[in-house]
Structure 1
Amino acid sequence: MNIKKTLSIAVASTLASVSYAETLRVASWLPPTNPMNEIVIPAWGKAISEATDGRIDVEIVYGLGHPKTMWNLVEDGIVDVSYSYHGYVPGRFELPQVVEQPGLGANAEAASYALWNTYDKYFADSGEFDGLKLLALFTHGHGQIHSNFPVNSLDDLKDKKIRIGGGVQSILAEELQVTTVGAPAPKVYEMMQQGVIDGAFLPTGEQKILRLSEVTKYLTVFPDGMYMGSFSMFMSPYVFEDLSQKDQEAINRISGLSLSTLAGAAWDKADVTGVESAEENGVQVTILADGDDLVKQLNTKLADVADVWVKAADAKGYQGEEALQYLRDTAQQYTEQHGG
């Protein structure tokens, strides 16, 4: 046989046997130190790669814009997957904010488990995620007060310039009579450093993740927090539909409830290290207990906050009170079974 022909056949055979992995590009707007980028997306990507025998890889890409544009980036086909915070786009994703309401009494892992189940049971037909494939619904840990002033009473918050991220925080801010400054979380360090704001409502993990322990003097921690924050992770349905049936099934199996719970647990872990970072860097950390006067003040002040969400859900044709109670019961059951 002709040597050139022999080599051509050998090369063609080799190329035919090589399988090239498809890479899912995941847009991230939070820093690499955030648990989404350190833990959640890498773990999800590893599980997908293993489940698809290496046919699909996952790559995190940064710097593609404001978090409120992440849904558009996926819808427009610029990236394949992303995640974001619902409060950054008022009016579009109201129903997942059921988990943000004060009084849940559960950590982010239990709350995320409950959120996915509640949304699936009550709101799956809402159309909020039309044009997207929903991969996960989850929450960060309890929102607390990071400030450059001590908080001994709720009166200390009046008229202070406080960064908020939207969602239920907007209602809390009105109840607490603070001057609100809207901005994405990654901007808080600069705003605190420059004195643009007096404080921020964020989970304690940001003391380390966003290095707020360098620019914060006080951290006030309520036992059940002030609120939670709802997120979704989503994928282009067109990219998903182009995959083989076997690979689609793998992604579905690894996402959903499993991914939601993983994300919540990662945020919980970050909150613990955030408090440690604050203490190590000289931030005055006040860990409140249920019987403390400040906790009683907050509980009284926020007692009716959830009514706003319930009425909004009712207006959309859903049973808001029933869904809220189901979420709380489900989170409590998860806590009793798994701890936290």
Structure 2
Amino acid sequence: MSLKKVLAIGLFMGIAGQALAETTLRVGSWLPPTHPQNTVVWPTWSKWVEEATDGRVKVVVEYGLGHPKTMFELVEDGVVDAAFSFHGYVPGRFKLTQAVEQPMLGASAEAASVAHWRIHQKYFAQANEHDGLELIGLFTHGPGQVHMAKPVEKFSDLKGKKIRLGGGVQAELGHRMGVTAVGAPAPKVYEMMQQGVIDGVFIPMVDQKSLRLKEVAKNVIALPGGMYLGSFAIFMNPDFLADLDQKDRDAILSVSGEKLSAMAGKAWDDGDKAGIEAAKDAGVNITFVKEGDALAHEFSALTQGMDAAFIKSVESRGVDTKAALTELRQIAVTYNK
């Protein structure tokens, strides 16, 4: 055999061996491809994973896999290897995660996400609410605000209105306001408002742009710090991780955890800024509430007793929720100060 052929075969075998060594990590995403979760969070983490594993693990995002609440099961069953979802879509399973959603936190999503991760690791992990999953990140969206088709002047005007609620603390706020709650995944909100199925939605400002709410929700009440934050998990299939070489498993986890949580929170913060600008450009009427305004006082009165109610609701989890809630708020408000 000629030297040229030997070299060619060697090159081919090297390329084939490299291809065989590469592992595809399939991520399921339920938000539109234009959403910051898909334009910033997944691409950034994908780059981190590929760099940390020297290219041995490649990340691919897949869309159109169904309702976001099914993401937990799809990862548990190995249909996809990783995903993210909103804890509020699965009421009953996730309770402790509502600690970060409680009103009046007054912190950015990035700060809240870091606090969320640290408090989970210190206090909540022992309750094993994410059983069957490898939790690799926790984050929140930005402040949840009121987005309506028609203007409202005060929170009491929401009584009887059909409002899409995503679960979690939103549900409790809606109950206190006397709204008619309508359940649906976030990507369905535009269609529901366009058709008049709902009068409004509680959701962060990012979705004025990413879900095109600027076209159908022309009236927004924006509280300082918002009404609540929304808790999300980023998770992987434990078997997928176990099947990797130890060095690649460690590499993926090294670019996850608090690092991934902070990055995701910041991406959603930046998405809120873009959403506000898009809403202004579209002529959306945004009422920016200031501390001390009547609306701020009205909302504060609505939330009285929510901390105590939350702590009582998770007594069966067997953790010091009161201490966790206090520490979470300390971390969030002092982050980067």
Same fold, judged at TM 0.5 (above): yes
Q: Distance in 2 between matches of 1:15 and 1:78?
A: 31
CA distance in 2, matches of 1:309, 1:244: 42
Equivalence for 1:253 = 254
The equivalent residue for 1:49 is: 50
1:153 shift after superposition: 1.4
Q: What does 1:30-179 correspond to in 2, within 5 Å?
A: 30-179=31-180
Q: CA deviation at 1:13?
A: 5.5
The partner residue of 1:7 within 2, 5, 8 is: 5
Deviations 1:156-185 (A, max 9, x none): 111000000001111000101111001111
SS in 1 for 2:228: coil
Residue 210 of structure 1 is matched in structure 2 by: 211
Distance 2:27 2:308 in 1: 36
Question: Structure 1 residue runs of 4+, over 6 Å off?
Answer: none
Q: CA deviation at 1:10?
A: 4.3
Q: 1:19 to 1:175 in 2, by over 3 A?
A: same
- Contact kept in structure 1, 2:221 and 2:286, CA below 8 Å: yes
- TM-score w.r.t. the length of structure 1 is 0.95
Range with bigger deviation, 136-145 or 148-157:
148-157
Secondary structure at 1:125 match in 2 = helix
Corresponding residue for residue 293 of structure 2: 292
Distance in 2 (CA, whole Å) between partners of 1:217 and 1:258 is 36
Distance 1:168 1:334 in 2: 23
With the length of structure 2 as denominator, give the TM-score of the two structures: 0.96
Aligned to 1:19: 18
Greater mean deviation of Cα atoms: 57-66 or 312-321: 312-321
Alpha-carbon RMSD across the aligned residues, in angstroms, is 1.4
Partner in structure 2 of residue 233 of structure 1: 234
Q: Distance in 1 between matches of 2:229 and 2:207?
A: 14
- 1:313–1:319 contact (8 Å) kept in structure 2: no
Distance 1:297 1:123 in 2: 32
Native 8 Å contact 1:22 1:56 kept in 2: yes
Paired residues of 1:172 and 1:305 also in contact (CA < 8 A): no
Alignment of structure 1 residues 173-322 onto 2, 5 Å: 173-322=174-323
Structure 2's unaligned 5+ residue stretches are none
Q: 1:143 and 1:265 mapped to 2: Cα distance?
A: 15
Deviation at 1:204, TM superposition (A): 0.7
Aligned to 1:324: 325
Q: What CA distance in whole angstroms lies between the structure 1 residues aligned with 2:131 and 2:233? A: 13
Task: Report if the CA contact (8 A) 2:127-2:318 is conserved.
Answer: no
Query: Does the 8 A contact of 1:311 with 1:320 survive in 2?
Result: no
Q: Deviations over 1:183-232 (max 9, x none)?
A: 11100000000000000000011000000001112011000100100000
The question of whether the paired residues in 2 share the 8 Å contact of 1:82 and 1:233 is answered with yes
Aligned length in residues: 334
Shift of the alpha carbon at 1:12? 4.8
Give deviations 1:275-326, integer Å, cap 9, x for gaps: 1111111111111101110111001111222222211222321112111111
AA in 1 matched with 2:242? E
Matching residue's letter, 2:133: L
The percentage of aligned residue pairs carrying the same residue is 51
Structure 1 residue 6 displacement after superposition:
7.5
